Amino acid sequence: MADWNTRVKDEFHAKRGRGVGTWGDNLLLLTTRGAKTGQVRTTPLVYHRDGERYVIAASKGGAPTHPGWYHNLVKHREAEIEIGTEKFKVRATPIPKGPERDRLYEAHGNVYAGFHDYPKKTKRVIPVVVLERIP
């Protein structure tokens, strides 16, 4: 996975965040601090906009557990994202269930159709996370 992340991050930077892989312009780089280790990690993720907010989904491809970055954001709500050539701080709000989560997850699947298949692969409810720019 580390090699895949490195390749995607390299492509993201080479293309200045545009037209990356099959995700096109809907990829961001999320930098979090580890919940257990405190180490800084950067993960490429599909996003969509909900007004001024950025929305990501903790799908992990439909795996039975949440991705590490999700646990990091639950513990440390402040993070950094990179979109295109812009990098800025955000505050994360995890939404693990409920009607708002359902609405945002459906919209996420409309941006990248693979997200409609991930819930079929797991028994867990896939949470979403709303990221809001910190002024």
Instruction: Evaluate if pTM is beyond 0.85.
Output: yes
Q: What is the pLDDT of residue 1?
A: 56
Q: What is the pLDDT of residues 39-82, one digit of tens each?
A: 999 999 999 999 999 999 999 999 999 999 999 999 999 999 99
Query: Exposed, middle or buried by CB within 10 Å (0-12, 13-18, 19+), for 35?
Result: middle
Residues 64 and 96: their CA atoms lie apart, in Å, by: 15
Q: Mind listing the pLDDT tens digit for each residue in 92-115?
A: 999 999 999 999 999 999 989 999
Closest CA relative to residue 134, chosen from 92, 75, 84: 92
What percent of the chain stands above pLDDT 90? Answer: 78
Domain boundaries, the chain: 2-133
The CATH class, in words, for 2-133 is mainly beta
* 131 has pLDDT over 80: yes
